[in-house]
Structure 1
Amino acid sequence: MKINKAYQFRLEPTVEQAVVLNNLVGSARFVWNQILAASFEMFAKNEFINATNLVNKIMDLKNNPDFDFLRTHANAVSLQQKIRDLASAWSRFFDPKVHARYKENKKKPKKPKSFKLLDGTELQLRPLMPQWKRKIDRRDSIRLVQFDKYCRVEGNRVKLPNGVGFVKFRKSQDIIGIIKNVTISKKSGHWYVSFGCERELDQNPIHPSTSAIGIDLGITKLITTSEGQHINPKNSFKSNQVKLAKLQRQLSRKVLFSQNWQKQNRKIQKLHHHIANIRHDYLHKITTNISKNHAMIVVENLKVVNMSQSASGSAVQHGRNVKAKSGLNKSILDQGWGMMVDMIEYKQHWQGGLLIKINPRYTSQTCFQCQHIAKENRRTQAKFECVKCRYVANADFNAARNILAAGHAVLSAEGGCGKGRPMKQKTCGLREKAT
């Protein structure tokens, strides 16, 4: 069994090294945009777009005398990998399954944009098409494959090509496995290095625990387990919301794209990055603890995109309780439910455990004792009281127990999750009684 894992660390380049790294990521961003423009021309002419066709266009850019910096301030391998990422983006655009998921999420349509072709006509850009990369976004990266050929790690330093040399990084944990590739990224003014590793196991891992647990996700309580344990949320966005609003008001009073506007925008981006880091770190600690202590974890298969839709409505028919729904949407997105479930899923895979996603329908309205389903069972957000058997419990705790019971029902209906079976399970439909 192979386990692929990435280790990300904070990179600490010197001033001279940062200049070289900026040139490398800047060249990769420039090549992305140039090839993207060429691919739009190919799309308008109904030409076939794949990685080979796009990568071959890099030499045309390098041979252009106006782009001589691509020969001196760029890495050939990273440019090829960047264009392969562009080809992957086009593959997702041409995939009908991706478009089906996009329509299912019912995202609010954006204002249509267009691209002016060389013949003067305009190409209407569609949803899910590859996007331009902008320097002002302050999110750049390059990826180097064949790590052993171009790079190496010595202690807390990594050797990078193109005259960068050895760069220190904050090595907070050991790198386990064979390093296949390395990604250098810049986010909100900070440099990061990510090592993509591959580890071969002689046999599939066996989880040290034998317990099973059901998890109910919420806002007031981030996690309520079927064992009665409650984990409070961090609410990193809510705690920084006032500061963020102040910075955004200051930004609105500045001239667009001026030097002062860019300085203020960098402050906002750093605060957003800080908020995301707090959430990411907190969810990693929670999910690691849960995954290590439970062999089977059952969660609801929630559609967070649909749950956090705007209630503003349309110009003809206005929505109701727009302000309250907006606050609820912020609270839902602040928790990071989707990110947390993804973390549990791959950590269970590493540990040899099992994650089951069940249908969330009626889990909060079903009585765990008598299985009676009624909307009146949950009259308040915190209290559950069955109208049939008078069973009283915490509403989230009752839901977590129902989630665990549904997970056991999935295992008995589907025959368990053996080797090669999908991690996401579903029960089969009930058969009609024979007459």
Structure 2
Amino acid sequence: MLTLTYEYKIKPTNREKAIFEDWLEISRKVYNYALSERKAWFKSRSCQINACSLHSEYIIPADAPRPTYYHQSKSLTAAKKEIPELRRVQSQVLQQTLIRLEKAFVSMWEHNHGFPRFKKPGAMRCFVFPQLKHEDLLENQIRLPLIGWVIFRPSRPIPEGGKLKQARIVKRASGWFVMLTLQWDVSVPSPMPHSEALGIDVGLTNFIAASNGLNVKRPKFFVDLQRKLKLLQQRVSRKKLGSSNWRKAQMKVQRLHEHIANTRKDFHWKVAHQLCDQAQTIFVEDLNLVGLSRSVLGKHCLDAGWGQFFQILEQCCFKRGVYFQKINSRKTSQICPNCQTETGKKMLSERVHVCSNCGYTTDRDVAAAQIVCQRGLAAVGYTVKMLGEGKFIGIRATQESPDFLFK
């Protein structure tokens, strides 16, 4: 099965905008109420058996089950009979809100994410229609339950043969968007390592350094516009909260944030296509991005957006038939790619790799990228043979002629 998501900008009428805003606000209230139930249940189990808190205590019966999506979905069905406001929203939209909360708790337990937080007014920015039919989608229109036909701008055609699975309505500073998820009953084979390979090292001085010597300078998307953002945020703080001028100033801040995100994403896609033009096998470092974001240089690491770049590069490799794999990043900048000797660089200011054992000299990031490439070749079953002066080849054990050649 092949699943792809297409994003289009929609042109809602004033009536449709009012419905979208109303549904987002009701979804936010349902999300916060369900979260408060779960939070109260957890806090009622956090006190000691023989003592209670002097500040406050959540008293819930000991046999009360833990709130889950199943229990809260049943409670939502019963609440619709008593609260007319809930009946204005399509039933599956509110169910998807509870599923979203369930996924947030799963991410907290399994991926060490933070405890889910309550959403203030305006923080809920999307809702989902999980079940749509093929007849609900035309060339430039989509039919949404309880709303009707909504016009969108067909910026690119949708390939034929796909089944419409769901539609997500998203609110952004630049307008409303619809994200259509379609599924094709085809099997796409995963690309295998072939042709020339490339190792990629990411950094703050250079955004990427490749094993073939390519260096791409890092644009400072957020840092360059930080002063303008600070000025706009100061203007927001001087306005009366909730007033019309406050909303206008807040919209300017949101548009600047969206501009920063769009320019960063555009840059990532361009670099990804540039790398896919140069190689058919790409290896990157498997970095601890959460730890890096909490370091002294966390702001610059987040500004570079390495996590988003790796996701985009993987998508680009999949579309263009390029093999992609993440490799262990331990001591990639401390080992000489020519003789495999640990050089012991201790300062980030040392930007040139000079091996005291073999004398091999090159850029520090390029040397790390060559180590990433060598480890990637070894991980996919190739034996790396050193030729001297930073040159090496990867040879399969079953073949006499080398498949890869690098400098």
TM-score, normalised by the number of residues in structure 1 = 0.75
Aligned to 2:395: none
Superposed displacement of residue 91, structure 1: 3.4
What secondary structure, in the 3-state scheme, does the structure 2 residue paired with 1:252 have?
helix
1:374 pairs, out of 343, 346, 370, with 343
Aligned to 1:169: 153
- Cα distance in 2 for partners of 1:154, 1:209 equals 41
Alignment deviations for residues 285-316 of structure 1 (CA, whole Å, 9 cap, x no partner): 32244346533211111112222325xxxxxx
2:85 pairs, out of 69, 81, 84, with 69
- Residues 211, 369 of structure 2: 8 Å contact kept: yes
Aligned to 1:135: 121
- Cα distance in 2 for partners of 1:411, 1:308 equals 30
- Cα distance in 1 for partners of 2:348, 2:315 equals 37
- Cα distance in 2 for partners of 1:77, 1:380 equals 55
Aligned to 2:30: 31
CA 1:38–1:215: 2 relative to 1, 3 Å: same
Aligned to 1:90: 105
Aligned to 1:356: 325
Segment of structure 1 superposing worse, 376-385 or 195-204: 376-385
Summarize the alignment of residues 154-165 of structure 1 with structure 2, pairs less than 5 Å apart.
154-165=138-149
User: Is 1:81 aligned to 2:63, yes or no?
Assistant: no
Q: Which residue identity lines up with residue 55 of structure 1 in the other structure?
A: S
- Residues 140, 153 of structure 2: 8 Å contact kept: yes
- Cα distance in 1 for partners of 2:374, 2:17 equals 54
1:269 pairs, out of 247, 254, 263, with 254
Superposed displacement of residue 385, structure 1: 1.7
Superposed displacement of residue 212, structure 1: 1.2
- Residues 25, 122 of structure 2: 8 Å contact kept: no
- Residues 4, 198 of structure 1: 8 Å contact kept: yes
- Cα distance in 1 for partners of 2:355, 2:14 equals 66
Alignment deviations for residues 131-182 of structure 1 (CA, whole Å, 9 cap, x no partner): 2222233x42111122107x62211222222234232234235356322111
Summarize the alignment of residues 14-413 of structure 1 with structure 2, pairs less than 5 Å apart.
14-43=13-42, 44=44, 45=60, 47-64=65-82, 67-71=83-87, 73-93=88-108, 95=109, 97-99=110-112, 102=113, 128-137=114-123, 139-148=124-133, 152-175=136-159, 177-188=162-173, 190-202=175-187, 204-206=189-191, 210-291=195-276, 294-310=279-295, 325=296, 328-376=297-345, 380-412=349-381
- Cα distance in 2 for partners of 1:205, 1:366 equals 32
CA 1:394–1:51: 2 relative to 1, 3 Å: same
Superposed displacement of residue 341, structure 1: 1.2
What secondary structure, in the 3-state scheme, does the structure 2 residue paired with 1:17 have?
helix
CA 1:353–1:49: 2 relative to 1, 3 Å: farther
- Cα distance in 2 for partners of 1:197, 1:304 equals 31
Matched residue pairs, number? 363
- Cα distance in 2 for partners of 1:203, 1:189 equals 35
CA 1:252–1:374: 2 relative to 1, 3 Å: same
What secondary structure, in the 3-state scheme, does the structure 2 residue paired with 1:12 have?
coil
- Cα distance in 2 for partners of 1:54, 1:279 equals 39
Superposed displacement of residue 370, structure 1: 1.9
Q: Percent identity?
A: 27
- Cα distance in 2 for partners of 1:145, 1:27 equals 18
- Cα distance in 1 for partners of 2:173, 2:215 equals 34
Q: Which residue identity lines up with residue 217 of structure 2 in the other structure?
A: N
What secondary structure, in the 3-state scheme, does the structure 2 residue paired with 1:57 have?
helix
Alignment deviations for residues 43-75 of structure 1 (CA, whole Å, 9 cap, x no partner): 4445233222111111233222xx32322x311
- Cα distance in 2 for partners of 1:129, 1:307 equals 21
CA 1:294–1:260: 2 relative to 1, 3 Å: same
TM-score, normalised by the number of residues in structure 2 = 0.80
- Cα distance in 2 for partners of 1:141, 1:3 equals 24
Q: Which residue identity lines up with residue 116 of structure 2 in the other structure?
A: P
Structure 1 portions without partners, runs of 5+: 103-127, 311-324, 415-435
Taking only aligned residues, the RMSD between alpha carbons, in angstroms, comes to 2.8
Alignment deviations for residues 293-349 of structure 1 (CA, whole Å, 9 cap, x no partner): 533211111112222325xxxxxxxxxxxxxx4xx3322211110111122234444
Q: Which residue identity lines up with residue 83 of structure 1 in the other structure?
A: L
- Residues 212, 296 of structure 1: 8 Å contact kept: yes
- Residues 223, 231 of structure 1: 8 Å contact kept: yes
Structure 2 portions without partners, runs of 5+: 45-59, 384-407
